[in-house]
C-alpha cells in the first residue's frame, strides 16, 4: 500500500499546502500524459531544497499504451544523484518551457531495474518557482516502434510538458473524472485553434465510423463529423477541459475537449472520444429495472394495505374481544411491513432511511393508544442513516411488537385514573453493530421475567426475527431501575 502523496511530501520534503494541492491535481490527471508519451512518469522533489542531491519519489504512473520500465511501485523511494544526475541538473538549472534536461542512461541500475533508458526531466512550476520535477523514463530496449501515431502523441505530450513548466497544467480546477471517461487508447483527435483536424487516431476513426461518419480528411473542421462546437468553444474560452456527449440512434459518443496552451494562448485542442453506447444501454436497463422494482414495492405496499383494511373490517364483525384483539395485532404487523415497502417504492436502491421507517411505525402504535384514559408520549433519539431493505422489514416488525408490548403491559389501566408515561426508541451504530433500545417509564418487568421463557405471541415473533432473520441478539435491563428496557444488537456493515 503506497503512502498518499500529501503525507509523504509533508514528512519528507519542504513543500507547503498550496504547492501540494497543485501537485495533487497534476497526479490526478497525469495518466493521460503517461499514455501520450508511452513512458513511466515519476514525480520527484528534493529532500533538501538547499542541497538537491537526493530526491523523493512522490508519485509514479505507468503507461497503458506501452510497457512499463518499473513493474514495482516506486512511491517512497529515494533517488540519489549518482543514480539520476539529470534530476539534480534540472533542479539547479531551473530550466523552463521546452528546454528540458534530457539524459541517456546506459545500463545503470536504478531502483532494482537495470536497462538502457531515456530520462527527460520536466520542471513543475507553481507561482513562479520550481516545486518538483516530472521525470519521463522509457526503455530503449522494449519501446514501441515510431510511426505517425507515436509522433503525434509525443508532440501532444511535449505541449503538455510546456504547460507543466509554464504552470498552466494542471488546470486551476479539479477536473471531473468520469467513470467511463475517454482515455488515450479510446480515440484521439488533435485540432488547431480553428478546430481543423490535424490528426485522428485509428481508434477515433473507428468510433465515428459507428456514428456513421466516414470522411476524415485532414483540415476538416471537427464540427463536420458531429462534434458539438459548443464544447470546443467552452474549452477554448475557459481554457479548461470540457465534456459533452453526442447521440445518434443507439450510438453514444463521450467527448472530452482539452485545451493545449502556450504563452497563455490556446494553440491546439486535444479531443478524446469514446464509444459509450454499451454503457448507455446498460444504464437504461438499470433504470428500467429500478423503476420495475420500485413499482413492485408500490404494489406490495398497496396489497398489504388492502389486507390490513380487510382485517379491520373482519375485526368489526367479531363479537369476541380476544378475537378482535388478535385481528388488530395482525393488522398492525401487516401495516408495519407495508411502511417498509412504501419507503422502498420511493428509493432508487434497496436501502432506506431508518428514520423514514421509525416515525411512521410510531404513528401506527400511537393510533391504537389515542384515548382519554391513556396518554403516552413517544420519542425517537439518534439516527444511523440508511439500512438495507432486507434488514428494514424484520426490524420494523420487531419495533412494532416491542412498542405495542410496552403499551399493553408497562402502563396498566386503573379505573378512574389516566395512564401516563413515556416510550423512547434510541438508535445508534457502534462499529459494525446497529443498536436499538426501546425503553419505557412504566412498571417494569415482572419479578423473574426471562425473555426466552415468554410464551406471548409478540415476543415469540421478536425472538424468531432477531435470531433467524437478522442474526442479532436481544437483552432486557433487569437492574431494578424503574421502567423496562429492551436492547437489540444487529450486525450491520
Per domain, the residue ranges of the chain are: 5-145+154-166, 188-275, 278-349, 356-493
Provide the pLDDT confidence category of residue 105 given band limits of 50, 70 and 90: very low
Q: Give me the pLDDT at residue 2, please.
A: 53
Residue with cell 428514520: 355
Q: Give me the pLDDT at residue 350, please.
A: 72
pLDDT > 50? residue 278: yes
pLDDT > 80? residue 449: no
Sequence-distant (≥ 6) Cβ neighbours of residue 366 within 8 angstroms: 376, 378
Pick from 35, 43, 36: nearest CA to 62: 35
Provide the pLDDT confidence category of residue 1 given band limits of 50, 70 and 90: very low
The bridge status of strand 386-388 relative to strand 188-192 is unpaired
Angle of the 389-409 helix axis to the 457-464 helix axis, nearest 10:
150
pLDDT > 70? residue 175: no
Pick from 432, 421, 486, 483: nearest CA to 454: 486
Give the separation between CA 332 and CA 401, rounded to whole angstroms: 9
Give the separation between CA 481 and CA 119, rounded to whole angstroms: 76
User: Taking residues 213-236, what's their average pLDDT?
Assistant: 78
Q: Give me the pLDDT at residue 394, please.
A: 81
- Say if pTM beats, i.e. exceeds, 0.75: no
User: Taking residues 121-141, what's their average pLDDT?
Assistant: 86
User: Taking residues 292-311, what's their average pLDDT?
Assistant: 74
Give the separation between CA 165 and CA 167, rounded to whole angstroms: 5
pLDDT > 70? residue 479: no
**C-alpha grid cell for residue 34?**
503517461
DSSP characters over 275-337: E-HHHHHHHHHHHHHHHHHHHHHHHHHHHHHHHHHHHHHHHHH---HHHHHHHHHHHHHHHHH
Residue, of 409 and 142, whose pLDDT is higher = 409
Which CATH architecture best describes the domain 188-275?
Answer: 2-Layer Sandwich (3.30)
Which CATH architecture best describes the domain 5-145+154-166?
Answer: 2-Layer Sandwich (3.30)
Taking the CA atoms of residue 36, residue 162, residue 92 and residue 75 in that order, the dihedral angle to the nearest 10 degrees is: -30
Sheet bearing 78-80, strands edge to edge: 78-80, 54-61, 40-46, 129-139, 117-126, 101-105
**C-alpha grid cell for residue 75?**
512511491
pLDDT digits (tens, 9 = 90+) for 312-324: 788 787 778 778 7
Residue, of 77 and 299, whose pLDDT is higher = 77
Q: Give me the pLDDT at residue 107, please.
A: 36
DSSP characters over 359-410: HHHHHHHHHHH-SSSEEEEEEEE----EEEHHHHHHHHHHHHHHHHHHHHHT
Name the range with the highest mean pLDDT among 91-95, 343-347, 457-461. 457-461
Sequence-distant (≥ 6) Cβ neighbours of residue 400 within 8 angstroms: 332, 333, 336, 361, 364, 365
Q: Give me the pLDDT at residue 116, please.
A: 67
Q: Give me the pLDDT at residue 181, please.
A: 67
pLDDT digits (tens, 9 = 90+) for 63-81: 998 888 888 888 888 888 8
Return the H-helix or E-strand segment holding 271: strand 265-275
Give the separation between CA 99 and CA 162, rounded to whole angstroms: 9
Q: Give me the pLDDT at residue 102, please.
A: 47
Residue, of 106 and 385, whose pLDDT is higher = 385
Give the separation between CA 325 and CA 318, rounded to whole angstroms: 10
Provide the pLDDT confidence category of residue 61 given band limits of 50, 70 and 90: very high
Q: Give me the pLDDT at residue 95, please.
A: 47
Percent of the chain, pLDDT > 70? 83
Q: Give, as one character, the DSSP assignment of residue 223.
A: G
Q: Give me the pLDDT at residue 337, please.
A: 73
pLDDT digits (tens, 9 = 90+) for 354-385: 788 788 878 777 776 656 566 778 888 888 77
Q: How many CB atoms lie within 10 A of CB 398?
A: 27
Question: Are the beta carbons of 486 and 402 closer than 8 angstroms?
Answer: yes
Q: What is the mean pLDDT of the chain?
A: 79
pLDDT > 70? residue 180: no
**C-alpha grid cell for residue 130?**
520550481
User: Taking residues 153-168, what's their average pLDDT?
Assistant: 89
Q: Give me the pLDDT at residue 110, please.
A: 46
Q: Do 188-275 and 356-493 come out as alike in CATH topology?
A: no
Question: Are the beta carbons of 442 and 483 closer than 8 angstroms?
Answer: yes
Q: What is the CATH number of domain 356-493?
A: 3.30.565.10
Q: Give me the pLDDT at residue 60, please.
A: 94
Question: Are the beta carbons of 474 and 466 closer than 8 angstroms?
Answer: yes
Amino acid at each position: 500500500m503506497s503512502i498518499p502523496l500529501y503525507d509523504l511530501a509533508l514528512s519528507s520534503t519542504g513543500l507547503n499546502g498550496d504547492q501540494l494541492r497543485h501537485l495533487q491535481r497534476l497526479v490526478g490527471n497525469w495518466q493521460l500524459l503517461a499514455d501520450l508519451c508511452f513512458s513511466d512518469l515519476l514525480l520527484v522533489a528534493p529532500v533538501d531544497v538547499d542541497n538537491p542531491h537526493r530526491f523523493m519519489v512522490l508519485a509514479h504512473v505507468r503507461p497503458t499504451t506501452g510497457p512499463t520500465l518499473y513493474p514495482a511501485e516506486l512511491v517512497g523511494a529515494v533517488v540519489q544523484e549518482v543514480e539520476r544526475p539529470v534530476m539534480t541538473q534540472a533542479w539547479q538549472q531551473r530550466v523552463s518551457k521546452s528546454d528540458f534536461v534530457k539524459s541517456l542512461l546506459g545500463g545503470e541500475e536504478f531502483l532494482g531495474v537495470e536497462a538502457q533508458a531515456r530520462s527527460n526531466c520536466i520542471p513543475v512550476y507553481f507561482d513562479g518557482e520550481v516545486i518538483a520535477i516530472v521525470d519521463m523514463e522509457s526503455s530503449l530496449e522494449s519501446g514501441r516502434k515510431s510511426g505517425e501515431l507515436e509522433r503525434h502523441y509525443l508532440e501532444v505530450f511535449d505541449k503538455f510538458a510546456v504547460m507543466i513548466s509554464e504552470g498552466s497544467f494542471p488546470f486551476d480546477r479539479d477536473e471531473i473524472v468520469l467513470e467511463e471517461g475517454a482515455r488515450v487508447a479510446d480515440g484521439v483527435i488533435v485540432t488547431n485553434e480553428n478546430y481543423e483536424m490535424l490528426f485522428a487516431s485509428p481508434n477515433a476513426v473507428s468510433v465515428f465510423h459507428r456514428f456513421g461518419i466516414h470522411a476524415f480528411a485532414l483540415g476538416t473542421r471537427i464540427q463536420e463529423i458531429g462534434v458539438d462546437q459548443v464544447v470546443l468553444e467552452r474549452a477554448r474560452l475557459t481554457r479548461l477541459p470540457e465534456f459533452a456527449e453526442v447521440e445518434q440512434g443507439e450510438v453514444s459518443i463521450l467527448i472530452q475537449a482539452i485545451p493545449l496552451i502556450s504563452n497563455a494562448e490556446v494553440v491546439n485542442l486535444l479531443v478524446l472520444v469514446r464509444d459509450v453506447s454499451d454503457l448507455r444501454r446498460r444504464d437504461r436497463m438499470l433504470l428500467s429495472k429500478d423503476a420495475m422494482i420500485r413499482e413492485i414495492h408500490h404494489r406490495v405496499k398497496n396489497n398489504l394495505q388492502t389486507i390490513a383494511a380487510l382485517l379491520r373490517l373482519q375485526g368489526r364483525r367479531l363479537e369476541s374481544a380476544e378475537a378482535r384483539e388478535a385481528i388488530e395485532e395482525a393488522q398492525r404487523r401487516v401495516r408495519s411491513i407495508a411502511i417498509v415497502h412504501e419507503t422502498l417504492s420511493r428509493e432508487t436502491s434497496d436501502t432506506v432511511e431508518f428514520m423514514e421507517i421509525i416515525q411512521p411505525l410510531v404513528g401506527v402504535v400511537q393510533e391504537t393508544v389515542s384515548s382519554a384514559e391513556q396518554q403516552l408520549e413517544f420519542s425517537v433519539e439518534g439516527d444511523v442513516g440508511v439500512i438495507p431493505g432486507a434488514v428494514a422489514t424484520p426490524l420494523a416488525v420487531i419495533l412494532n411488537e416491542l412498542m405495542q408490548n410496552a403499551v399493553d403491559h408497562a402502563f396498566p389501566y386503573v379505573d378512574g385514573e389516566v395512564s401516563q408515561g413515556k416510550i423512547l426508541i434510541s438508535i445508534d451504530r457502534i462499529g459494525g453493530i446497529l443498536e436499538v433500545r426501546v425503553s419505557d417509564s412504566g412498571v417494569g418487568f415482572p419479578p423473574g421475567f426471562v425473555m426466552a421463557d415468554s410464551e406471548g405471541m409478540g415476543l415469540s415473533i421478536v425472538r424468531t426475527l432477531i435470531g433467524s432473520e437478522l442474526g442479532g441478539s436481544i437483552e432486557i435491563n433487569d437492574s431494578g431501575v424503574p421502567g423496562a428496557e429492551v436492547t437489540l444488537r444487529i450486525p450491520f456493515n
